[in-house]
Amino acid sequence: MAWVESPLQMLCAVEAHHSGLLGSETRIVPRAKLPALVSTCRELNHLGLPVHSVIDSAQSEIPRPGRRTTWVLGDAFSGKVQLRLLTGGACRVVIVDDGLATIRLLELLAGRPWTPLLRARDTGGGALRGAARTALGAAAGLRLRLAARSGRLVVFTALPVPSELAADVRATGAALVTHDFPWLRSQPADRSRPSERTVVLGTSLVRNGLIHRDPYLLWLARLGSCGPVAYFPHRREDPRDLDLVREQPGVHVYDGGAPAEITLRGLSPDQRVLSLPSTAVTSLRVLLSARGVPVETVDVPDAWWTADAAPSLRSHLQMFAHHDHLGNRDIGVTS
């Protein structure tokens, strides 16, 4: 059984089933009231799910996994997921990608035994860092480490895990399985690709209060002044911010929903993808490299960050920010 709360989690659960990692039959349960999951489910069903896998009806609460069940999850930092880890009976846990938080999870699992599983933002104090929340994170971390020690924890990821970290994770007893989206790559390319040469992936950093809105909009305006831009919103972007993006000259905002990995897999070599720090950069490189499409992460200038973005969080978010083909001058970023 897979409990999924994001489009990427849903896609990776399908890939994990396709790889044979989950057993003969897989039931994927989406969290209710998340429109992006509805769109992703529709797209995956349109492609045709792998045999013996099914996307079930959305539910508000996490089903309790049975004692003989392999439980697939993406967000091990969720309080509800951690409670289910402690009360459920799953005999085996498979963790699939849920953005850059996957790397933080690996770092914590390979760290000190009682280190609580808390998001990077939750370690800076405030309401989310209460004693009860910390205790829950510590208990959940212990449960996952015990599962690793007994060979019952698998991490299934498309992210480039540093070799030293990978060795530390495997030393805990956990299995670290990497993939390159073989099921999705085997599907016919989507012909309804955007016509604009430059494609920008939206970000949640503005809504999360980590970067300032004005310089981000100015950057989009500069890109739009150089040629038409296709903008694919992040699923957590504020609708009011999207209205401001639509006002930028030359920027066309497309409907969000399905993961970029599905929507943009049919891009051509004369197009390029730009994004602020995002896991989608890594996965799109895997999917689009054979097509000759450059996919670039944009370094966030220091002046963009807000006071809420601690240096450790900035470093974590930008760990995949590389410029192999384009420099900041080419993509309109200034400090």
Q: What is the pLDDT of residues 273-298, one digit of tens each?
A: 999 988 888 889 888 888 899 999 89
Give percent of the chain above pLDDT 70. Answer: 91
Give percent of the chain above pLDDT 90. Answer: 65
Predicted local confidence at residue 289, as pLDDT: 86
Among 93, 103, 84, smallest CA distance to 31 is for: 84
Token readout for 155 is 């991490």
Report the pLDDT averaged over residues 104-119. Answer: 90
pLDDT band at 68 (very low <50, low <70, confident <90, very high): confident
Cβ within 8 Å of residue 327, ≥6 positions away: none
Among 277, 274, 280, 275, smallest CA distance to 260 is for: 280
pTM of the full predicted structure? 0.86
CA–CA dist 335, 324 (Å, integer): 20
By the 8 A CB rule, do 201 and 264 touch? no
Instruction: Answer yes or no: is pLDDT of 26 > 90.
Output: yes
Instruction: Answer yes or no: is pLDDT of 121 > 80.
Output: no
The whole-chain average pLDDT of the chain stands at: 88
For residue 242, the number of C-alpha atoms closer than 13 Å in the C-beta half-sphere is 19
Instruction: Answer yes or no: is pLDDT of 21 > 90.
Output: yes
Instruction: Answer yes or no: is pLDDT of 303 > 70.
Output: yes
Token readout for 300 is 């966030």
Predicted local confidence at residue 248, as pLDDT: 95
pLDDT in tens, 204-219: 999 999 999 999 999 9
By the 8 A CB rule, do 237 and 204 touch? yes
Predicted local confidence at residue 273, as pLDDT: 96
Instruction: Answer yes or no: is pLDDT of 332 > 90.
Output: no
Instruction: Answer yes or no: is pLDDT of 109 > 90.
Output: yes
Instruction: Answer yes or no: is pLDDT of 328 > 50.
Output: no
| Cross-strand bridge partners of residue 102 | none
Predicted local confidence at residue 160, as pLDDT: 87
Predicted local confidence at residue 276, as pLDDT: 93
Predicted local confidence at residue 38, as pLDDT: 93
Report the pLDDT averaged over residues 70-85. Answer: 94
CA–CA distance from 122 to each of 43, 170, 306 (Å)? 34, 26, 16
pLDDT band at 66 (very low <50, low <70, confident <90, very high): confident
CA angle in degrees (0–180, nearest 5) for 155-237-258: 55
Instruction: Answer yes or no: is pLDDT of 262 > 70.
Output: yes
Instruction: Answer yes or no: is pLDDT of 98 > 90.
Output: no
Predicted local confidence at residue 326, as pLDDT: 38
The domain ranges of the chain are 2-184, 198-317
pLDDT in tens, 157-195: 998 899 999 999 999 999 999 999 999 989 887 667 899
pLDDT in tens, 147-156: 999 999 999 9
**CATH number attached to the domain at 198-317:** 3.40.50
Instruction: Answer yes or no: is pLDDT of 81 > 90.
Output: yes
pLDDT band at 47 (very low <50, low <70, confident <90, very high): very high
Instruction: Answer yes or no: is pLDDT of 30 > 70.
Output: yes
